[in-house]
Structure 1
Amino acid sequence: MTSPTRWRAEVLLVAGVSLGQSAVYAAVRLADMLTRGPLQDSTASLNNSQSTRPVFDLVYQLLGIGFTLVPVALALYLLWLDGQGSVLERLGLGPGRDSGGGDLGGGFVRGRRDAWGDAWRAVALFVLIGAGTLAVYAAGRALGVTAQISTNNLNAAWWTVPVLLLQAVKNGVLEEVLLFGFFWDRLEKLRWSPWAIIVGLAVLRGSYHLYQGFGPFVGNVLMGLIFGWLYMRRRRVMPFVGAHTAIDIAGFFAPGVLTSVDPLF
């Protein structure tokens, strides 16, 4: 199998068991909602309970998180097969390439600098994208093109908070590592131009949010364009994992923020 054929196959297979599959289901869900009535009267529910029995609900939640991350492990394995050194360094999920070697002191300093840089960029992205998300959601609800989003539908239990935190981390890792870590690498090897990659991945990001309506689709495409442009400049995935996780944590633990924007319109 030639390398381009292999890379195309890997992109299709990884997408088919992860974000591409989600995009197809999201499109079908949107069609289902549109044929039932006005989109603004529909509800998109996240983090739903899987059982009325708390212990089994917890087991189902943890299984769901674990199996959802399997495509990430597959993508990292495929990248490792390239034989180009540490996958975490390549993706910007750890210290930069020149932080290793025999200079342990220099490596520590570089690693700490990378960590601080990733942290402040994640916070900046969280503020920027978080505010933009509320604005796009409010506009979508006002225009009737966005479903009401209910972000926390778990039964109250001692494990609810940890599970919601794990769900947020899972979303950040799954989406950002696959989009910027794996798909970007493979599309670049297939000689896509940087902006073709940015736009293509942004549209994919928006597509698997279609179950929330057209507003979130547009909002996530814009988010993808911003994230993609910034990733192209520094090639580190970690700030986007951090920002995405923080955005989801805010949405999961403050669900009233989304519903509160409806009366404004």
Structure 2
Amino acid sequence: MSTSGIRALLSPTRPSDIAVVTDRGRRRAIGVEIVIVLVLTFGMSGIYAILSLIEDELRSGGIGNQTIALNQSTSAVDLIDLVRQILAATRLFAIAALAVYLLYRSGVALSRAGVDRAITRRDVAWGAALAAGIGLPGLALYIIARELNINAQVLPSDLTETWWRLPILVLSAIGNAAAEELLVVAYLITRLRQLGWSENRSLLASALLRGSYHLYQGFGGGLGNVVMGLVYGRFYQVTARAWPLVIAHGLIDSVAFVGFALLRDRLGFLT
């Protein structure tokens, strides 16, 4: 990578058409909006995750003796379970839509926020590269954290074996990806830019938020997601493209969810 490329990664230039808001009333409104959005979504999830981590650490054996299922059945009645799984995914897509809508309503060009309608082949290629670059080190970090007894045993899928299990796992993976990347990265970083936050400061805020709501998995899950947030957030700041992040996240979660569901008996080394 060239010197200019390294410099761009360390201190990217804010896109010129995402202007800093100087009007005091509008700045206050943006701040209030951010707080409300985070309380309704991932900010509150972060607080719950921190409390869950503290509670698990106070239990016998600490977080390392706990087991957490990311996707689990919610009813013994198959149809009710299916509807609940669809509703959970719908909520995630609604969070993603809210992030995009609020940017649109604020007058930010969606193309500059990286969420325009066109998903290019380049977006797909970058998404696959980011998935590989984060997914494999993330798996290694999980194994190390388990060995150190600082992470819970995470079961990517604990759904009942039904005909709709695999499609729902993929839908959940895409929903998670859309909600997190469009709100925690595209929305939050863009809004903080409007408030005049530096690129590094807004990047850190986004990454710490991502790490916070994964702390229920343990310290390894929190740290791994902070690193993921730093990489994904910087990619977004440099390229102004959010779709590669959604694709990458969706691929990682799809492989984890579906792979575990199909190969659970052969993945004992992960537990």
- What TM-score results when the alignment is normalised by the length of structure 1? 0.87
Partner of residue 236, structure 1: 241
Partner of residue 84, structure 2: 60
**Higher mean Cα deviation, 51-60 or 63-72?**
63-72
Matched, 1:7 2:30: yes
**Higher mean Cα deviation, 252-261 or 54-63?**
252-261
Contact 1:17–1:71 under 8 Å retained in 2: no
Q: Distance in 1 between matches of 2:124 and 2:113?
A: 16
Q: Distance in 1 between matches of 2:95 and 2:103?
A: 12
Contact 1:149–1:258 under 8 Å retained in 2: no
Contact 2:93–2:179 under 8 Å retained in 1: yes
Seen in structure 2, the aligned counterparts of structure 1 residues 63 and 7 have a Cα distance that, compared at 3 Å, is: same
Partner of residue 225, structure 2: 220
Partner of residue 155, structure 2: 150
* Match runs of 1:6-25 below 5 Å: 6-25=29-48
Corresponding letter in the other structure for 2:147 = A
Matched, 1:132 2:137: yes
Q: Distance in 1 between matches of 2:258 and 2:269?
A: 14
CA shift for structure 1 position 134:
0.8
CA shift for structure 1 position 25:
1.1
Corresponding letter in the other structure for 2:106 = D
**Helix, strand or coil at the partner of 1:2:** helix
Partner of residue 113, structure 2: 91
Corresponding letter in the other structure for 1:66 = T
**Helix, strand or coil at the partner of 1:26:** helix
CA shift for structure 1 position 158:
1.2
Q: Distance in 2 between matches of 1:146 and 1:228?
A: 24
Seen in structure 2, the aligned counterparts of structure 1 residues 59 and 261 have a Cα distance that, compared at 3 Å, is: closer
**Helix, strand or coil at the partner of 1:118:** helix
Corresponding letter in the other structure for 1:208 = Y
Seen in structure 2, the aligned counterparts of structure 1 residues 213 and 84 have a Cα distance that, compared at 3 Å, is: closer
CA shift for structure 1 position 92:
2.0
Matched, 1:176 2:181: yes
Partner of residue 100, structure 1: none
Contact 2:92–2:178 under 8 Å retained in 1: no
Matched, 1:159 2:159: no
Deviations 1:158-215, CA, capped at 9 Å, x for gaps: 1111111110000000000001221111111111100011111111111000000001
Q: Distance in 2 between matches of 1:210 and 1:84?
A: 32
Matched, 1:37 2:69: no
- What TM-score results when the alignment is normalised by the length of structure 2? 0.85
Size of the aligned set, in residue pairs, is 243
Q: List runs of 5+ in structure 2 lacking aligned partners.
A: 1-23
Contact 1:207–1:217 under 8 Å retained in 2: yes
Contact 2:113–2:190 under 8 Å retained in 1: no
CA shift for structure 1 position 94:
3.2
CA shift for structure 1 position 258:
6.2
Deviations 1:129-177, CA, capped at 9 Å, x for gaps: 1111111101101111010001111111111111111100000000000
Q: Distance in 2 between matches of 1:226 and 1:76?
A: 21
Please, which of 102, 111, 125 is the counterpart of residue 78 of structure 1? 102
**Higher mean Cα deviation, 47-56 or 27-36?**
27-36
Identity %: 35
Contact 2:199–2:237 under 8 Å retained in 1: yes
Q: List runs of 5+ in structure 1 lacking aligned partners.
A: 96-110
Q: Distance in 1 between matches of 2:105 and 2:267?
A: 43
**Helix, strand or coil at the partner of 1:90:** coil
CA shift for structure 1 position 230:
1.3
